[in-house]
Structure 1
Amino acid sequence: MGPLSATPDSAALTRLVRVALGQAPADTVIRGARLVNVFNEQVEEPGAVALAGGRIASLGPELPGWQGPETQVFEARGLYLIPGLIDGHTHLDSIFQLGAYSSLALARGNTAAVSETAMIAGAWGLQGVRAVLAEARQTLMRVFFVTPSLVPPFPQWETSAGMSAGEIVGLLDDPACLGLGETYWPGVIDQDPRPQITFAAALARGKRIGGHAAGARGTRLMAYAASGVSDCHESTTAEEALERIRLGLMAQVREGIVRREMEAVVPALKDLPDSRLVSLVTDLCPLDELVAEGAMNVLAKKAVALGVNPARAVAWCSYNPAQYYGLRGLGAVAPGYIADLALVEDLTDFRAAMVFLEGRLVARDGAMLAEQPAFVYPPEARHTVQSRAVTLEDLRVPASGSEARVRAANAVNGTITREVEALAPVRDGSATPDPARDLLKMAHINRHAPGLEMGLGFATGWGLKAGALATTLIWDTCNIFGLGASDAELALALNRARELGGGWVVARGEQILAELPLPLAGAVSPEPVAEIQRRVEACETALRDLGCIQERPFLTAQTFCFTGLPFLRLTNKGLLDVRARRMVEVVL
């Protein structure tokens, strides 16, 4: 559906008034529902709600005039009526199609989301973003988007499909675009002219500028906020969240696949006198959690478990993000608001018994009743990998002697690396991996151009004793990245990812052990989320069987080349010291 319903015309407004007065029948009446009020953060006694023309006309004691011959009546029998939940910061532009996500999330009471588009922009440029927007327009749940401010974030060090400033600014005029997506703070406070152009364009249109202020505090955070940035989902401590709120930034508390920070942050926020600048976000929910439980309903459940007043928890997941983004008519159960609603069994688990979208029942007991239209990507989406195949000769790292001292990126955790030194065996004049000492070779290929532009390096902290992995799902370039215990296995995995048109591959010897094809722009699978999750688990199991010690290798592989986080990263142009902002040599 479109991101927001059309503004009611005079006839629609007159009808809402007449229904509210009991002078005209409602389209739908929900009886016996306990309203969760996000304005006064209270739960009200059971009452009735009248819906007309996709909006809420009135609530409270039922009026005789609400029922007509065509009025639908739903008996809530004490269930709790909450506004549809809204994820104010997520990434729905890769891994799965929007329709696959919508079918799972909407059925659990998640009626809207605000998605980044940096991954699909890096994978397929403006064409990719437009494809996602086209699917969003026919997806049942409301999907808004923010456009990346820089594609790629650091073109001097990395290559992606790319978008010009003019293309980015053009997207800001789309009604479904709520602003610019997260922009890494170092470039902003260093006064890079590129974000200044897109920031000014967003502010001129009254749109939001998303933040990514990991590690920024004090004067640097002040300068970042002064640039026009108005939110941040990177608070890892209560102190960081409170500092952002003090500066007027929306503190988007994250709980998802990348990090889980609610336990560290929420206790300090739950009793704030005014929590309008607090919202909960997934930053992309884990696939297994999405399949089994849902999305924002899981976060509301956890907030209550952490001691948050249930009505306040609901506001953090609905009204606050709606107000922040200017989504007038969403996020509350009140007269005149759009009737995106969920009836939940209780305010501890938030299990949805019924879900309404613009007053229409679309899901019951966690299962969709309305059919999600299928969206087919254009044929050219399957031909975005342009680089040639890799040979063993391509993977040579020239070195002399019997051993070479090399820089290696050590996987500290799922997202952070640090520089370490290691000794690599030298064979035939090339530094090679040494899995016995946890030293793997890694490669990063620019897939967006013919030929072969590739950076090479070494990695530790993975534990692989044999085999290799390769993936095109890497932040934010969607190039081809791989690491392996031998050059031959690394080449096999890299070339298989290329043959698939994108995906995730695990290889050993001459055999492909597991794979997840991502043929749509090299970043998206057309399969249902449950099948994608099954393949991810197969890939991770294969890696663990090969000795991988990373807790979440699917995530770690995505972030291992990510230049938005410290410290040592491999790009298609070579090895980058992120803090020093310079390319460095592999062999010391």
Structure 2
Amino acid sequence: MTLANKNTQRLSSQELPNRLAQARGDQELDLLITNIQLLDVITGEIYPTCIAIGGEHIVGVGLEYADSKTRRTFDGQGAFVTPGFIDGHLHIESSMMSPFEFERATLPLGTTTAICDPHEITNVTGANGFEWFLRCAELTRQNLFVQMSSCVPALPGFETNGSDFTLDEMVKLKDHPAVLGLAEMMNFPGVINANTEVLSKIEAFDDLNLDGHAPLLRGKALNAYLLAGIQNCHETVTLEEGREKLQKGMGLIIREGSVAKNLKTLAPLVNDFSSPQCLLCTDDRNPFEIAHEGHINFLIKELINHHGVAVHVAYRLATYSAAKHFGLKRLGLVAPGKKADLVILKDLKSVDIQDVLIGGQFVSEIDLKSESANNLQLSQPPMMNTIKREAMKAADFGYPTQAGLYNVIEIVPNEIITKHITTFFDGKNFAQDDVLFMANIERYGKNLKPGLGFVKGMGLTSGALASSVAHDSHNIMVIGTNTEDMAVAVNEIIAMGGGFVVANQGEVKARVELPIAGLLSLKSADEIKSGIENLKTEFKKLGVVLEEPFIQMAFLALPVIPALKLTDKGLVDVTRFEFIELAVR
């Protein structure tokens, strides 16, 4: 199946004659929106118009439709209208919500299209988890596109994951209408150095989109990565890096998640000229921030009000630029033939949303709560217990007792890159402040010894935090001031089949259960948000200085993001893609 046959791309031959009749004025419209001001994301103009809708599509735009016969008229009363917002790259699993709760939380915020990579659940459950996301995409009103997870595991040989996702399995699912292409190719060394297995994946999906993942990649290495056909990158962290990627034709996906926040750094690159090559994504954003800040609507508001980006350019990045980049010819504009995914706003600069339309239906008139519960059941989520680790004792961690110089991961706030530093440890105390014990514990039934590390920058002064979300293989990550509380936290994760835990002085103080693959909750967005608020209350009592320590912890395990990371197999120097010892030699 070609890109032309994917979801949203076609009007059927049965439907098209009716839509043409409505466009000509020979047939009654389904919906007519009048007294509305269109923000034209192509020209940047704002002008009064009418929007004629038939079925799920816009059949006409212009004041010439003002007197058309219609089943329903909506008077916009001078409000503004823009295309629906598109998130160019995200992992729904990081929201801890099912795709249906994610839809319920983000669709009213204007996110009518989400382009996701479910490699989190695929690393845990293999094709079973990926196919669940495809079933979800068939049930959501939100346009949910599911990119083919390209790196499961993220870096073969460097971590233990729950299941492989082979090229044969990928190719069998390629023709699904929700698959737009290959998801983020994190193994950029494999691409650059012509690894046969990696290039086979690129070749198999070369007729679709090829998403990239190349933090800090510059010069000849970047040239080689692009030569292979990679189209974009959402991992850009410096201004000059972003400029070079744009200069070399790479799509710049500007990210603002719950931890990785690159909007401020990259916004100066955005202007009228560059905007067709720039788009927006959230990558990893949790229900707390979605509820308190927003989703793509928040990124638009920040670009306009804090980073000096023109209004029409900010909205262009969230709509037409993204649709054009991914070849979604019927999305991203308020224009004839486009899907009637619209955002109606009281004010453009503050992104004050009055209502949203998805496929010509007002979201405010849809019972998303009931649909979420029903669709979750219909989708048959993978509910097997994926936490197969035996309970741990404090002595099982086995930290060194001899004095010496040790390697330490230093957290960079609001970034998923880390620093590689060293510190002296005498077997009990560290020479530097705020250095903690850290372990990555294999959870797939092999009961291997934990990978051990030290980490600086969390601020924890007592107790421990543990999580079954540790990108991308999702073993159990735990950070603590002592091994007794670390064991308590880990054992609670094992007992509840996955989630987040705060423990102190031998007791569990707060927890959030994630029974679907140890990644996703069965609860509503509001309930998840409440659980996160409880976690925040408890970990702040223990001195944590990070706003989102669990998300930050999750990325400390990812061995494709510089500079130093910890997998269940040990410390990985990501600048050289080599294991190193905890002790400096």
Tell me if both proteins adopt one fold, taking TM over 0.5 as the criterion. yes
Distance 1:570 1:11, change over 3 A: closer
Is contact 2:424–2:431 with CA below 8 Å preserved after alignment? no
Q: How does 1:1-400 map to 2 (within 5 A)?
A: 4-5=7-8, 7-44=10-47, 46-63=48-65, 66-68=68-70, 71-94=71-94, 95-161=96-162, 162-184=164-186, 185-203=188-206, 206-272=207-273, 275-305=275-305, 306-363=307-364, 371-372=371-372, 373-376=374-377, 378=380, 381-397=383-399, 399-400=401-402
Matched-pair contact (CA < 8 Å) for 2:93–2:121: yes
Change (3 A) 1:77 1:194: same
In the alignment, the residues of structure 2 paired with residue 496 and residue 504 of structure 1 have an alpha-carbon distance, to the nearest angstrom, of 9
CA distance in 2, matches of 1:505, 1:64: 58
Structure 2 residue identity aligned to 1:21:
R
CA separation in 2, counterparts of 1:56 and 1:380?
A: 37
Letter in 2 for 1:139: T
Corresponding residue for 1:455? Answer: 451
Query: Could you say what secondary structure the match of 1:456 adopts?
Result: strand
**1:64, CA displacement in angstroms?**
7.4
Amino acid at match of 2:244: E
Question: Cα offset for 1:286?
Answer: 4.6
| Separation in 1, partners of 2:368, 2:154 | 39
**Residue in structure 1 matched with residue 552 of structure 2 by the alignment:** 556
Corresponding position of 1:527? 523
Q: Deviations over 1:262-307 (max 9, x none)?
A: 33322332232x5311112222335333113531122222233233
Task: Provide closer, same or farther for how the CA distance between residues 135 and 380 of structure 1 changes in structure 2, counting only shifts above 3 A.
Answer: closer
State the alpha-carbon separation in 1 of the partners of residues 85 and 382 from structure 2.
35
Deviation digits for residues 475-528 of structure 1 (CA, Å, limit 9, x no counterpart): 111111112222211111111111111111111122001111111101111122
Question: Counterpart of 1:525 in 2: which secondary structure?
Answer: coil
Cα distance change, pair 80–370 in 1 and its aligned pair in 2 (3 A):
farther
Query: How do residues 399-438 of structure 1 correspond to structure 2 at under 5 angstroms?
Result: 399-400=401-402, 403-413=403-413, 414-426=415-427, 438=434
Instruction: Please say if residues 3 and 144 of structure 1, whose CA atoms lie closer than 8 Å, have aligned partners that are also in contact.
Output: no
User: What displacement does 1:235 show?
Assistant: 2.7
Q: Label 1:253 to 1:458 Cα distance change in 2 as closer, same or farther (>3 A).
A: closer
1:130 is displaced (CA, Å) by 1.5
In structure 2, the partner of 1:429 is: none
Change (3 A) 1:63 1:580: closer
**8 Å contact kept, 2:503–2:509:** yes
Post-superposition Cα deviations, 1:329-377, rounded to whole Å, max 9, x if no partner, equal 111111111111121112112222222121122227x996984444037
The answer to which of 254-263 and 192-201 deviates more is 254-263
Aligned counterpart, 2:495:
499
Of 462, 474, 478, the residue aligned with 2:474 is 478
Q: Which moved more, 1:408-417 or 1:310-319?
A: 408-417
Distance change >3 Å, CA 213–CA 580, structure 1 → 2: closer
Q: Is 1:517 the equivalent of 2:513?
A: yes
Distance 1:436 1:241 in 2: 34
In the TM superposition, residue 29 of structure 1 has moved relative to its aligned partner by 0.7
Gaps of 5+ in 2: none
**Residues 108 and 574 (structure 1 numbering): CA distance in 2 closer, same or farther, change over 3 Å?**
closer
Instruction: Name the CA distance, whole Å, in 1 between partners of 2:103 and 2:538.
Output: 30
Kept after mapping to 2: 8 A contact 1:436/1:465: no
Unmatched 5+ stretches in structure 1: 427-431
Q: Distance in 1 between matches of 2:182 and 2:267?
A: 26
Cα separation, partners in 2 of 1:174 and 1:435, compared to 1, 3 Å = farther
Shift of 1:191: 2.6
Q: State how far apart, in whole Å, the 1-side matches of 2:423 and 2:247 are.
A: 45
Give the secondary-structure state (helix, strand or coil) at the position aligned to 2:128: helix
Q: Do the aligned partners of 2:132 and 2:382 also contact (CA within 8 Å) in 1?
A: no
Measured after TM superposition, the shift of residue 198 of structure 1 is 0.8
The answer to whether the 8 A contact 1:210-1:229 is kept is yes
AA partner of residue 510 (structure 1): G
Matched with 2:572 is 576
SS at match of 1:66: coil
| CA pair 131-333 structure 1, distance change in 2 beyond 3 A | same
TM-score of the aligned structures, taking structure 2 as reference length: 0.91
* One-letter amino acid of the structure 2 residue matched with residue 583 of structure 1: F
TM-score, scaled relative to structure 1: 0.91
Task: Between 482-491 and 435-444, report the one with greater CA deviation.
Answer: 435-444
User: Does structure 2 conserve the Cα–Cα contact (< 8 Å) formed by 1:433 and 1:439?
Assistant: no
Contact persistence 1:382–1:522 (CA under 8 A): no
* Separation of aligned partners in 2, 1:355 and 1:579: 45
| Structure 2: distance between partners of 1:556 and 1:459 | 12
Rate the CA distance shift 1:10–1:469 in 2: closer, same or farther, 3 A.
closer
* Residue 445 of structure 1 pairs with residue 441 of structure 2: yes
> What is the CA distance between 1:6 and its match in structure 2?
7.2
Q: Could you say if the C-alpha distance between residues 339 and 363 of structure 1 is closer, same or farther in structure 2, counting changes exceeding 3 Å? A: same
Residue type at the aligned position of 1:243? E
Deviations 1:57-96 (A, max 9, x none): 112124477315xx01100111112111111111113411
Contact 1:96 1:525 (C-alpha < 8 Å) held by counterparts: yes
Contact conserved, 2:510 with 2:538, CA < 8 A, in 1? yes
Distance change in 2, residues 1:446/1:487 (3 Å): same
Instruction: Note the C-alpha offset of 1:313.
Output: 2.2
Structure 1 residues 418 and 72: CA distance shift in structure 2, 3 A: same
Root-mean-square deviation (Å): 2.5
Q: Matches of residues 531-546 of structure 1 in structure 2 within 5 Å?
A: 531-546=527-542
The DSSP-based 3-state class of the residue aligned with 1:555 is helix
